[in-house]
């Protein structure tokens, strides 16, 4: 067991339910007992919720600031302690954005002010924080990252002591505390400490390749990795070389100015060209915090999360490791994937977009595999959170063990329905999150839905991670999909911007 460099904490696992009716009530009680108080400057907060589908995310200097991060850390520490009935450690990691150091330091100051011990991993993938939160006696973990967003954005996302996303109820309590009386706060009689613990990242790295080393050697495979100037630059090459692969890396330095810029899982052009140029067997692109991965086959064709779920699901099904042959995905999953999986005797269950919803449905149904088209994949046999490196390693192992090129595996799987995803930037947060109240836009969606009938489907939603409205149109023909995607994008621009 990993312990503190200064002292060993008592048990700090979160209990299954709150000790008090509400942690906020306990905090309020402690304020009454206090004889002195910490004082914070008032924050200007938006009226819309701070926590989205993946924590608090936004432009640094706008929504995200050092004062906000410090107070988020303090209140999160208070609530985590109240649920766990003890002080303890919190695992902290970050990506390569220039603002990550500032936000990490501010958040740590808040957590230590709440009496907690912070173990700072430094640069690491999000899944590393989740893994260590689960494997150590910690109260939870925090990752400073805006995932696939551009360099000027950043985010704060929390994990509980089991390594899964912090429950929405606890996030709501942190936000409620932030919006309360922040001028007079409870006094701590015990202050926390901050320790730099980058050596712990090695434990996570070994957890990725150790299960595969027993059965798989990637020797003979040439693999290109696009590391997006982000959190995986130190870890990913080591994992694949340990497994025996020949590795070629792109964008393989931590660079806060260029993280995700025309590279990584949302911009595949560089990876596609490199795989073809180097005559590689396959390639993988990660996003800024490496919690998602998109593959590219030897012909340079993208292999998204739908194909990854199909291939991994097929392998687990044949091994008798997929309960009820069920895969959990989201409303974005392609109809071609769903119908092909059903032909194999499988079941696809859809959830709202967001890996927390996928995970919740997996727990509810007992499913072992789930994920999103964007490349967030969760396999409970091997991990507890979306992990791009874990996903990539297992897909490479499937290719190696099958003796079949990835391109051939894709050709024999399924054909996707034409699916268009358009993003319309809507800067006003209130307008964006309340888009469903726009009657003219609702009428435009109803008209498109009626016209398409059973030939396709439409999904319009506000992004939980970016200031955009996402318009997805999927249809039996590209012409039909293009027609209604264009019409709906114009409607969003006309009525919301």
What mean pLDDT comes out for the span 99-118?
96
Q: Is the pLDDT of residue 183 over 50?
A: no
Whole-number average pLDDT of the chain: 89
Of 493, 495, 485, the residue nearest 438 (C-alpha): 495
pLDDT class of 38 with cuts at 50, 70, 90 = low
The phi and psi torsions of 248 (rounded to 5 degrees) equal -120, 125
38 strand-pairing partners = 185
- The count of other CB atoms within 10 Å of the CB of residue 264 is 31
Percent of the chain past pLDDT 90, that is, above it, reads 74
Percent of the chain past pLDDT 70, that is, above it, reads 90
List all residues 6 or more positions away from 282 whose beta carbon is below 8 Å from its beta carbon.
Answer: 221, 223, 224, 275, 295, 296, 297, 298, 395, 396, 399, 406
Annotated binding residues, as ranges? Answer: 147, 287, 289, 291
Is residue 147 annotated as part of the catalytic site, yes or no?
A: yes
Contact at 8 Å (CB) between 371 and 355? yes
The phi and psi torsions of 258 (rounded to 5 degrees) equal -120, 5
Helix (H) or strand (E) run with residue 33 in it: helix 23-33
pLDDT at 39: 59
Question: Can you spell out the DSSP letters for 158-189?
Answer: EE-TTSSBPPHHHHHHHHHHHTS--SSBPPPS
pLDDT tens profile 57-68: 999 998 899 999
What is the pTM assigned to this prediction? 0.84
Would the CATH topology of 51-199 be identical to that of 419-496?
Answer: no
In the set 147, 298, 329, 374, the catalytic residue is: 147
pLDDT tens profile 350-389: 999 888 899 999 999 999 999 999 999 999 999 999 999 9
pLDDT at 21: 39
Rounded Cα gap, residues 382 and 380, in angstroms: 5
pLDDT tens profile 74-99: 999 999 988 887 778 999 999 999 99
The SS3 call for residue 330 is: strand
Rounded Cα gap, residues 197 and 463, in angstroms: 34
Rounded Cα gap, residues 456 and 135, in angstroms: 44
Q: Is the pLDDT of residue 211 over 50?
A: yes
348 strand-pairing partners = 327
pLDDT at 15: 34
CATH top-level class of 211-412: alpha beta
List all residues 6 or more positions away from 214 whose beta carbon is below 8 Å from its beta carbon.
Answer: none
pLDDT at 26: 44
The phi and psi torsions of 455 (rounded to 5 degrees) equal -85, -5
Domain ranges of the chain: 51-199, 211-412, 419-496
* CATH architecture label of 51-199: 3-Layer(aba) Sandwich (3.40)
The phi and psi torsions of 145 (rounded to 5 degrees) equal -170, 150
Q: Is the pLDDT of residue 17 over 80?
A: no
pLDDT tens profile 427-474: 998 899 899 999 999 999 999 999 988 788 899 999 877 899 999 999
pLDDT tens profile 241-297: 999 999 999 999 999 999 999 999 999 999 999 999 999 999 999 999 999 999 999
Give CATH superfamily name and number for 419-496: Alpha-D-phosphohexomutase, C-terminal domain (3.30.310.50)
């Amino acid at each position: 067991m990993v312990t503190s460099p200064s002292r060993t904490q008592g048990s700090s696992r979160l209990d299954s339910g709150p000790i008090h009716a509400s942690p906020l009530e306990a905090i309020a009680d402690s304020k009454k007992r206090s004889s002195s108080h910490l004082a914070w400057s008032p924050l200007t907060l938006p009226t819309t919720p701070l926590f989205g589908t993946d924590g608090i995310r936004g432009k640094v200097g706008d929504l995200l600031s050092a004062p906000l991060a410090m107070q988020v850390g303090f209140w999160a520490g208070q609530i985590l302690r109240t649920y766990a009935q003890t002080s303890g450690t919190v695992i902290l990691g970050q990506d390569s954005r220039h603002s990550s150091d500032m936000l990490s330091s501010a958040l740590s100051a808040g957590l230590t002010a709440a009496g907690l011990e912070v173990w700072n991993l430094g640069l690491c993938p999000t899944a590393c924080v989740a893994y260590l939160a689960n494997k150590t006696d910690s109260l939870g973990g925090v990752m400073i990252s805006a995932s696939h967003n551009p360099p000027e954005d950043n985010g704060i996302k929390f994990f509980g002591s089991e390594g899964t996303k912090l429950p929405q109820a606890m996030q709501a309590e942190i936000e409620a505390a932030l919006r309360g009386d922040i001028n007079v706060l409870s006094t701590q009689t015990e202050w926390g400490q901050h320790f730099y613990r980058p050596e712990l990242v090695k434990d996570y790295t070994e957890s990725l390749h150790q299960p595969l080393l027993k059965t798989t050697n990637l020797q003979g495979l040439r693999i290109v990795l696009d590391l997006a100037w982000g959190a995986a630059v130190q870890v990913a090459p080591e994992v694949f070389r340990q497994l025996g692969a020949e590795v070629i890396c792109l964008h393989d330095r931590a660079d806060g100015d260029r993280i995700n810029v025309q590279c990584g899982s949302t911009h595949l052009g560089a990876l596609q060209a490199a795989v073809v140029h180097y005559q590689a067997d396959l390639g993988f692109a990660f996003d800024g915090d490496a919690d998602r991965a998109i593959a590219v086959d030897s012909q340079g064709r993208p292999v998204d999360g739908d194909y990854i779920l199909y291939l991994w699901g097929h392998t687990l099904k044949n091994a008798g490791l997929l309960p009820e042959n069920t895969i959990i995905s989201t409303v974005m999953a392609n109809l071609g994937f769903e119908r092909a999986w059903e032909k194999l005797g499988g079941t696809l269950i859809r959830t709202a977009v967001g890996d927390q919803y996928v995970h919740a449905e997996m727990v509810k149904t007992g499913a072992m595999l789930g994920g999103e088209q964007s490349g967030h994949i969760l396999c409970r046999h091997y991990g507890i959170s979306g992990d791009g490196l874990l996903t990539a390693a297992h897909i490479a192992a499937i290719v190696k063990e099958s003796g079949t090129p990835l391109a051939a595996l894709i050709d024999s799987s399924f054909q996707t329905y034409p699916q268009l995803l358009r993003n319309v930037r809507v800067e006003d947060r209130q307008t964006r999150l309340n888009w469903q109240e726009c009657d003219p836009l609702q009428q435009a969606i109803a008209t498109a839905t009626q016209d398409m009938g059973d030939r396709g489907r439409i999904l319009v939603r506000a992004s939980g991670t970016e200031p955009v409205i996402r318009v997805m149109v999927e249809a039996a023909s590209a012409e039909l999909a293009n027609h209604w995607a264009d019409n709906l994008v114009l409607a969003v621009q006309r009525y919301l911007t």
